[in-house]
Copies of this chain bind each other. A is one copy, B any other.
Amino acid sequence: MKISNDNPTRRQPQEVTTALPARGDSLSSLAMSKPHWEDSPYFDGWKEYARNPYHPINDPSGIIQMDLAENQLSLGLLESWLYTHPEASIWTEEGLSMFREIASYHDNLGLPACRKGIAMFMEEVGGRKAKFERDRIVLTAGATAAHEVLTFCLVDPGEAFLVPTPYYPRFDRDLKWRTGVDLIPVQCSSCNDFQITIPALEAAYEQARARNIEVKGLLITNPSNPLGTTMENSTLRNLLAFVYEKNIHLVCDEIYSGSVFSSPKFTSIAEILATEKICQTDRVHIVYSFYEDLGLPSFRVGVIYSYNDTVVTAARRMSRFSLVSSQTQHLIASMLCDTDFVRKYLTENSKRLRERHEMFVSGLRVAGINCLNSNTGLFCWVDLRHLLQFRNQEGEIILWTIILKEIGLIVSAGSSCHCSEPGWFRFCFANMDDQTVQESLNRIHLFVESKTPNQRGMAG
């Protein structure tokens, strides 16, 4: 059987509101709609990558995957932990006695030990500056689910979140579809390293209001995806002041908080709330997951941490559509309650990310390519404006296509992140080994050299 990605529409989404006499066999408007992302050229890029992935021996000219923010640098640390902790497995002589308890029915609170471990981990990542109450932790099957559940809790269809740009492209794909939320980009620019400013927020807010759109919240990623930067305390305080003034919510995606590899340190919004002794905290909500920081993307453990009691209750009810396997909860619980391991892991992971980042960024520098200064994450924000044929979005797509088809790298283009300045790209560097990073750099060097023979001649 072939499942098509195209919808052989018996009914177009725009026709949905018209009641027809006998349309019982048709599908919902959601099922008939095509998600935003699949209309973009980048979707074709992923399909092309799937047809021809790089392999050092089997396909050395294949496409290298640099559009996947996955951390493979520290999996060995996790392997060692697993091997030395058989009691945490329901398979082993030491752990089998837990099987019945793990397998049997649990409500949607999640295992207490799992929530305890998550709270301890979030405290550790935040430098032990704020406490996380385990009763405020809602588990979901990954960060995507956490974001969707939170959106279902905060907005009605047609209401909006402000989202500073550049932002994670899949917010468009994931958050809008079933909830009906509108995402309104807040323009940030390279002139101040893409930092969020209050005038930009005010402008986006006022434009939305002028279009009669109800703004319900501000959604930020801190550390930023795709920038790889952490927010300053003063910025966080300004954002809090903004949401209080506008009477809206603040959703802080902190899924890269355990991936900071150099100064400045990461500040969680929880630390600001704790140190500023802000009473009115119930508009603040944090999203976390173990995809990025632990390198466990497919274990699907997402977290909503809300300071709002009603949101915690509603999100927990909704989490029954998106529960985390108790087998995986048991693993997470055992691993994260091992404080010694967590501290060593965070330190070593940070070191490995720093070395990898330095390797990639300095390799780019040799080719005359600069990146935004960054201190976190599994990617960097690369400035290729000087390689654009045209200084507009079309020029960016042309360059992105060249990177895909000629250089053989799949990366994210800034326009997919709503970046208003053409020529910026996100390159992921932690989902591969050193040799593959070197191969990607070699290809970039060759390409840049082939494009600049005159300059090289002049320089020589």
Contacts and interface: CB of A to CB of B under 8 A. Distances in A.
Interface in A311-335: 311-318, 320-328, 331
B105 A70 contact: yes
Interface stretch (A55-63, A138-146, A353-361, A415-423): A138-146
A25 interface: yes
Given A141-B141, A178-B152, A317-B35, A326 B310 contact: no
A337 interface: no
A4 B312 CA distance: 9
A254 interface: no
B325 A300 contact: yes
Interface stretch (A242-250, A263-271, A442-450): A242-250
Given A32-B310, A99-B75, A25 B325 contact: no
A390 to B, nearest CB: 34
B29 A156 contact: yes
Contacts of A135: 1, 3
A364 interface: no
Given A91-B88, A92-B89, A105-B297, A31 B310 contact: yes
Interface in A268-327: 283, 295-301, 308-318, 320-327
Q: How many copies does the complex hold?
A: 2
B91 A83 contact: yes
Interface in A344-403: none
Contacts of A318: 30, 178
Given A100-B75, A327-B331, A174 B320 contact: yes
A5 interface: yes
A214 B26 CA distance: 11
Interface string A23-57: 11101111110010000000000000000000000
B16 A156 contact: yes
Give me the 8 closest cross-chain CB pairs, A-B, nearest first. Answer: A298-B326, A89-B91, A31-B314, A24-B248, A325-B328, A325-B325, A31-B153, A105-B297
29 contacts: A3-B135, A3-B309, A4-B309, A27-B308, A28-B156, A28-B159, A31-B153, A31-B311, A35-B317, A70-B105, A72-B100, A72-B104, A78-B103, A79-B100, A82-B90, A86-B91, A86-B92, A102-B298, A103-B297, A104-B297, A105-B431, A141-B300, A141-B322, A141-B324, A145-B323, A174-B320, A321-B322, A325-B325, A325-B327
Interface of A: 1-5, 7-8, 16, 19, 22-25, 27-32, 35, 68, 70, 72, 75, 78-79, 82-83, 85-86, 88-93, 95-96, 99-100, 102-106, 133, 135-136, 141-142, 144-145, 148, 152-156, 159, 174, 177-178, 214-217, 246-249, 283, 295-301, 308-318, 320-328, 331, 431
Given A24-B215, A174-B321, 13 more contacts: A1-B135, A8-B310, A24-B249, A25-B247, A25-B249, A27-B154, A30-B156, A91-B91, A103-B296, A103-B297, A145-B322, A325-B327, A327-B327
